[in-house]
Structure 1
Amino acid sequence: MKEEFLHYVWQYKLFSSELVTTGNEKIKILKNGSLNKNSGPDFLNAQLEIDNQIWVGNVEIHLKSSDWYVHQHETDVNYDAVILHVVYEDDTQVFMKNNTPLPTLELKDKIDKGLLNDYQNLFSTQLRWIPCEGQIAEVDKFLLSNWLERLYFERLENKSIVIKQLLEQSNNDFEVVLFQLLAKNFGLKVNADAFLSLAQSLDFSIIKKERFKEKSLTSLLFGQAGFLEDNLESEFHYQLKKEYAYLKHKYNLQSLANSQFQFFRMRPNNFPTIRIAQLVSLYHQYQNLFSKLMEIKKAEDFYLLFAVEVNEFWKSHYTFEKESKKSPKKLTKPFIDLLIINTIIPLKFVYEQSRGEVDETQILKLIKQLKPEKNSTISKFADFKIKANNAFETQALLELKSNYCTPKHCLQCGIGNSLLRKNDTMNKLLKRD
């Protein structure tokens, strides 16, 4: 059993009998307090009637009363205002600083056995991919839909943390952060950090100055990435190297080591050289890219905007050294979808937050236009009859798995809650309250 379950029982008053302290004093809950997610007592500002006397203060919850001393609460002033100690098992008497016993409520015989069994089944020690894998398909579709929507916006909030950190570092310049995020996501998972380092290795004002000349912008990004350090038998490489030497001196630049960029076991279209070439084409073609992306509302318009062509050299090369069969090497729709999911919508969310006008309806409308992502997590949910129909649902399911299922936060999960509430006795207890 986890303390989290006892929090759940206290929060929803799921007791099977009248409450009395271990000293046989009657307890009446007037306000059970608010759950404290920070350090300190578990429930704050509770209001209780104990033996006909009104008490206002905090409630601390433990599996055993002896945990009070294990956690050294007796020396912590944050616990001086605790008015009730709620425990599953009372194994020792706890005293307040004035040496009077701390009122204690033991729950061992006050929790419905059916509810406890359902909880224990949910947290069975059997090896399961998710705790409720045998029951999740039974969850009401309306409830599931609402919970997925909440999960999706939780995911956006989590993604916004990194964006806000980048904004703070860039003096709240959204154009700079867009460039950094696009670069990071052009690198995909394998080269994300290297591409972000590339984007952060030079001031964005230099990009704005050199973007009008394709050769200059190409030299700038490939040079900063360290791909122009060698002497190769390629006229294109030689010209870029010569141009970068000028730009490096002009802007006092320091290039990265190209060893940061990984080619091993990657498909040629995902080679960092190709992704840099595509990023160059995008920024060479568009001025005010940030404002354009913030205005677009349809997936099809994003596909059109990102339909840029690489330089002629890259149509017949994957690296500087070896020529290959000619191909357009345009950004694919699945890749653009990833950019929309991981860069554009999160940045749009933060941008609208900064203006105090988040349009959740429009955000949902856009993400639901995108096809569902394909990965092992989504496939596994499908095995349990939870099939994702679009990117909104895949993103929500990824959030569900990582932040609720894996850490077993079932009691904070809409799905876990609904499964426990199927217990008949629990429903009676909830209605009684």
Structure 2
Amino acid sequence: MLFTEDFLHYIWKFKLFDFHDLQTTDGLSLEILSVGVHNFDAGPDFHNVRIRIGDTLWAGNAEIHIAAGDWYKHNHTHDEAYGNVVLHIVYRNDKPVILPNGRQVPTLELANRIPAELYTRYHQLAYGNQQIIPCEATIKTVSGIKLHNWLTRVLIERLQKKSVAVIDTLQHNRGDWDETFYQHLAANFGFKVNALPFELLAKSLPQQILAKHKNSALQIEALIMGQAGFLEVELADGYPLKLQAEYGFLQKKYNLKPVEKHLWKFMRLRPQNFPTIRLAQFANLIFKSNHLFSKILEIEHLADFRKLFNQVDVNDYWETHYRFGVESKPASKSLGKSSVDLLLMNTIAVFLYSYGHHHKLQQYIDRSLELLESVPVEQNHIVNDFTNLGVIAKSAFESQALLELKNNYCNHKKCLQCGVGNQILNLG
């Protein structure tokens, strides 16, 4: 029967084995008073274990292996961290473990104490031939309440992980939240495909420079388009020439170096998503929303977050162009609803959470979660796969959690650390 040490950790941690007439391998009665605390760092697997062997009470650590001989394979014998192991828990006791001081480590063998049904369920998860997720055949048996509770926890994990990246940028920016928000917002305006050049652009063009030109939409767009590298070519149209002239002056004034134009990707993008259009939209947002992060912290009504992005429009030139010098049929270039939703999820909600967590201000954490609950489910193949399995997200709160669940639990078959997997394995 195939299984890992993690499976035995799970068995021990949740007491999923037969406790009747427990004995050590040398025939002494064994009573488990506390399984201890799972240790995920170096050293024995469980700390603060309390057991009674015969009439003697023991307190210390426990180590778990598939075979007792693994103790020697893992070189624990001469590691002082394992000197206080009071119980060796193994699936198969193939040899005694004796420490350098001559003490034999008491051993509990689990081979005949694990329910067969638990083996079966574990194997279906860990070694099955599933197409989407390990529990695709059984996830519908998990109650809606328990699934939602787990998704809530997974969503918090996702926000905490993203918060680490935010705080890292914040430290680089010497505690400047406005600059940090501006840089992350720019990266998210790239919508994955052009996230890198957008991020590089923002780092090459500090927000304080843009703030000096807050009253001129032309100058802000000139700075952004110029730093993107799109004004370094020969241009013929009236509006692009104005941008080019403005940028030429401002570039020298601030000693600016543009990002490399070849970094921007147009291939396989719909014209509405061309980087030139996203840059024009971003420039207009900056123009209309000076000190944007401060405004976001002040917003109390969720609908007002959306209004920040709905107000974005572009210069009339872009109504008939997707690229400089190439005319097209007139079309609106405002931000689409799905784009706004993604910005609300990946930027606004993340920064509200990060700010609240960093400053220990619960109201911003709550606002972040409420915002995600108000945003519709995004459409992607992961969310669609879960829908086909009967797990239907009701809002971005749940769909974002499903992304985290799939990418950080299901893809790595971490079923034993997953609330859904735990529920499926539960024999009660």
1:87 counterpart SS class: strand
Percent of aligned pairs sharing the same letter: 41
Aligned residues: 423
Residues 242-272 of structure 1: CA distance to partner in whole angstroms, max 9, x if unpaired? 3222222222222111101100110111111
Query: 2:226 corresponds to which letter in structure 1?
Result: G
Partner Cα distance (1:362, 1:225) in 2: 34
Aligned to 2:13: 11
Aligned residues of 2:306 and 2:344 also touching (Cα < 8 A): no
Partner Cα distance (1:104, 1:348) in 2: 51
Residues 271-313 of structure 1: CA distance to partner in whole angstroms, max 9, x if unpaired? 1111111111011111221122223344432232212111122
Aligned to 2:184: 181
Aligned to 1:367: 372
Aligned to 2:343: 339
Partner Cα distance (2:401, 2:279) in 1: 30
Partner Cα distance (2:140, 2:184) in 1: 36
Q: Note closer, same or farther for the CA distance 1:361–1:251 as it changes in structure 2 (3 Å cut).
A: closer
Deviation at 1:134, TM superposition (A): 1.0
Deviation at 1:147, TM superposition (A): 1.6
Residue 272 (structure 2) pairs with residue 269 (structure 1): yes
Aligned residues of 1:299 and 1:370 also touching (Cα < 8 A): no
Query: 2:124 corresponds to which letter in structure 1?
Result: N
Aligned to 2:245: 242
Residues 106-126 of structure 1: CA distance to partner in whole angstroms, max 9, x if unpaired? 111121222222222232332
1:44 counterpart SS class: strand
Counterpart of 1:190 (choices 183, 189, 193) is 193
Aligned to 2:233: 230
Aligned residues of 2:214 and 2:220 also touching (Cα < 8 A): yes
1:373 counterpart SS class: coil
Residues 9-41 of structure 1: CA distance to partner in whole angstroms, max 9, x if unpaired? 111222213322222222222221111122221
Partner Cα distance (2:100, 2:194) in 1: 57
Counterpart of 1:398 (choices 403, 408, 424) is 403
Residue 186 (structure 2) pairs with residue 166 (structure 1): no
Query: 2:324 corresponds to which letter in structure 1?
Result: F
CA RMSD of the aligned region, Å?
1.7
Partner Cα distance (1:390, 1:129) in 2: 21
Residues 402-431 of structure 1: CA distance to partner in whole angstroms, max 9, x if unpaired? 12211112122221111222x2xxx3xxxx
1:228 counterpart SS class: coil
Counterpart of 2:361 (choices 354, 357, 361) is 357
Aligned residues of 1:298 and 1:366 also touching (Cα < 8 A): no
Query: 1:300 corresponds to which letter in structure 2?
Result: A
Partner Cα distance (1:206, 1:77) in 2: 58
1:40 counterpart SS class: coil
1:123 counterpart SS class: helix
Partner Cα distance (1:361, 1:138) in 2: 30
More displaced stretch, 402-411 vs 203-212: 203-212
Partner Cα distance (2:71, 2:249) in 1: 68
Gaps of 5+ in 2: none
Partner Cα distance (2:169, 2:297) in 1: 18
* TM-score (normalizing by structure 1): 0.93
Query: 2:354 corresponds to which letter in structure 1?
Result: V
Gaps of 5+ in 1: 428-433
* TM-score (normalizing by structure 2): 0.94
Q: What does 1:76-115 correspond to in 2, within 5 Å? A: 76-115=79-118
More displaced stretch, 217-226 vs 49-58: 49-58
Deviation at 1:76, TM superposition (A): 2.8
Deviation at 1:7, TM superposition (A): 1.0
Query: 1:211 corresponds to which letter in structure 2?
Result: K
Q: What does 1:26-425 correspond to in 2, within 5 Å? A: 26-306=29-309, 307-359=311-363, 360-421=365-426, 423=427
1:308 counterpart SS class: coil
